[in-house]
Chains A and B, each alone.
Chain A
């Protein structure tokens, strides 16, 4: 998301990135990053918890207004209400890349290196009309 933020920023619109993994988002050079220690899939907290969702969104917006220079970062102190084992909701089936690496573990170094094979034939330019 940091890469997208940079592009929008370059077009003249300010951005703020919420981040669940701040080292990764900050590594893109994104201008404004707000870290929050929430589990994957739950950036704004638990379903139907409007009070905490609003409080976090408000905090992200306020943080953005206080950031005055590139690569600003702030971490919001928030406690997740569940045990880690409960909070780690996984997809119902492992992602395709995880299934592939189970079968061919030697490909892990390729994933880490970002050595991605050539484009899939389905890849095509985005069409905003969709």
Chain B
């Protein structure tokens, strides 16, 4: 079994362990069965790396510097063609350089295209999404951002979403 805290610095390990032990799963279980086989499913990705297109408003790092208890709870859309040269990655809790070198590290769209060409999946959604994962108060995330993402994914007729943490 993996040690889930292996790569965390001391302080993060302590905090995350405490959160995991304290958190109680909601009584209601979310579940939607896959409607189609994978080979006919349209797949979309959501990354929590804080990725925004150049020209879009980047995730608000200054806000978090001003108030460390706050993290930007908004979301951004990313077209399928996006690559590392097209984006600004704003996330103060990770080393963003590997993702800036190769966006597939956090948003493996080229790999998804390869799997589509091999008929492992049906096709790749034209649109993918990012949030920024450091959010201590999840109110806006769950009440505004997530429903908007769900709406966008429904509009795009997505059959399966892969959520990718950092």
- A interface, CB within 8 angstroms of B: 1-31, 35-48, 50, 53-54, 57-58, 60-62, 64-65, 68-71, 75, 84, 87-93, 95-101, 108, 111-112, 114, 116-117, 119-120, 122-123, 125-128, 130
Contacts and interface: CB of A to CB of B under 8 A. Distances in A.
Contacts of B46: 1, 4
B69 A117 contact: yes
B126 interface: no
Contact of A44 (B37, B38, B64, B108): B108
Interface of B: 1-9, 11, 14-26, 29-35, 37-38, 43, 46, 48, 56-57, 60, 63-70, 73-77, 91-99, 101-102, 104-106, 108, 110-112, 114-115, 120-121, 131, 133-134, 136-138, 140-142, 144-154, 158-166
B20 A27 contact: yes
Q: Which of A4, A50, A69, A98 has the most CB of B within 10 A?
A: A4
B140 to A, nearest CB: 7
A110 to B, nearest CB: 9
A112 B18 CA distance: 6
Contact of B131 (A4, A37, A44): A4
A46 B94 contact: no
A112 B19 CA distance: 7
Given A69-B31, A126-B145, A17 B140 contact: no
